Chains A and B, each alone.
Chain A
């Protein structure tokens, strides 16, 4: 009998959704200013624009797709990490269609990436905790650069 998929929990609450359906991409949890329309990631209470500073803000879900602004692959492990796959991990800055630029890990290999290409968010299981998968959000290419 095949194992049923484990329930998933975010590594940190309040940054991204964890859809019930595993084939559905996660969305990033942000804020929209109701006064000027600026969007932010992560969530914040007050609009950051010096000209606005409105407290009239609301929670929004953003993405899951965005455009790659820049990327790198880091050749040493995360602080304190014992996981071999964390050597050579990718990091990218991705411009979301709503406006914010987000900086998150990238899946795959350096050769797969080019500035300007479209990426999509996905969830990566990091470890198991009490029968649940602890997941982090990262990006992966979906197609060629425009």
Chain B
């Protein structure tokens, strides 16, 4: 990918906001991104909306908040990877030369979704027996069996992400005190061996990224580093023995391995070139597995890397520098865009207290249940 830059980013802080609508949060994130880009909504050529729990028309209706300019509006859904999938479509639309500036807006109110489903779901439905927390706990049990992983390793990831999130004003969970491994282990058990502080919260929020031609980025904000999107991959699973067809499934490992190879080839880089990485850490065991699947370390080395602090903010490569899904939050549609918000700010040197020194290259990885894998590489020009 040669001709795509992030022109602007914006967020509406993730949290539990019973009094805010999707339109309120979406407008706040979108206006922040337009202001960051130095654009008026009149300058936006098209939009892709990422919204999971969507009634009909919700994409175009929320986009009316910015004004009715007649642009194409499309809604995209791909579970947790919804925002990332919308971003991928926008990038390829710019790369193809079709548009100069495209707005990608993600929003969701997961608090409302949970309230609705509790009334509608049959408690004994075969599919509903397996919650996401239970599903990823199965990854953890298997990893413990194969590699001798301890609950402390998972707790260390939770603690790291909480402590990163404390430095992010847009994070949903912000701890005043430093979070320790002991505190994460002592939090409520969700699905053995995963505790509440190894798991992402339920929340509401919105995030926006505007992508466009790199010349436009230079013209709009002279002197500001240009952040280019140098690789974009979206794939679903290839069948392999052991594939699960029921429940909130994510896997198998090969999908992330293939996606990582694709983006490294597109960008002409390797995992050693990465300064920071955002992953789908809905549960700490996922982040642990993705260290290896993205090639940040060799298979079987994740536990030793965690013990050394390789993936801390000041470590070899910063992973989940904004707190990740565990601390920054995971409302659904906007989650992948929050990763792109973080990476863009880091590559511009605007990430404040959590700034990674001289960050030049970042990777954003998202999984969506079903399942799909979306990966982007962003680089400072």
Interface residues of A (CB under 8 A from B): 11-12, 15, 38, 40-42, 44, 48-50, 69-83, 86, 89, 91-93, 95, 99, 101-105, 110, 115-116, 126-127, 134, 136-137
Contacts and interface: CB of A to CB of B under 8 A. Distances in A.
Given A91-B135, A103-B130, A110-B192, 6 more contacts: A15-B126, A80-B123, A82-B123, A91-B191, A103-B249, A115-B141
- List 6 tightest A-B contacts by C-beta distance, closest first: A72-B137, A81-B123, A70-B142, A70-B138, A48-B239, A115-B145
Interface stretch (B60-68, B89-97, B112-120, B263-271): B112-120
Given A40-B245, A127-B124, A70 B139 contact: yes
A80 B119 contact: yes
28 contacts: A11-B122, A11-B125, A48-B243, A69-B142, A70-B145, A72-B137, A73-B192, A74-B131, A74-B137, A75-B191, A75-B192, A76-B190, A78-B123, A79-B118, A79-B131, A80-B122, A82-B123, A83-B123, A91-B129, A91-B135, A91-B137, A92-B138, A93-B138, A99-B241, A103-B130, A103-B244, A110-B192, A126-B124
Name the residue in B117, B244, B245, B246 with the highest tally of chain A Cβ atoms < 10 Å from its Cβ: B245
B272 interface: no
B134 A91 contact: yes
B225 interface: no
Interface residues of B, number: 42
A84 B345 CA distance: 47
Contacts of A72: 134, 137-138, 140-141, 191-194
B101 to A, nearest CB: 38
Contacts of A126: 124
Interface string B345-362: 000000000000000000
Interface in B137-195: 137-142, 145, 188-194
Nearest to B189: A75
A49 to B, nearest CB: 5
A26 to B, nearest CB: 13
Contact of A42 (B114, B120, B189, B245): B245
B102 to A, nearest CB: 32
Name the residue in B124, B238, B246 with the highest tally of chain A Cβ atoms < 10 Å from its Cβ: B124
A41 B128 CA distance: 16
B242 interface: yes
B244 A93 contact: yes
B120 to A, nearest CB: 7
Contacts of A93: 138, 142, 244
B320 to A, nearest CB: 23
Contacts of B40: none
Interface string B242-285: 11111101000000000000000000000000000000000000
A39 to B, nearest CB: 10
A44 B342 CA distance: 42
B129 A115 contact: no
A38 B239 CA distance: 11
Contacts of B121: 78-80
A105 B138 CA distance: 12
Contacts of A137: 126
Given A42-B245, A73-B192, A104 B129 contact: yes
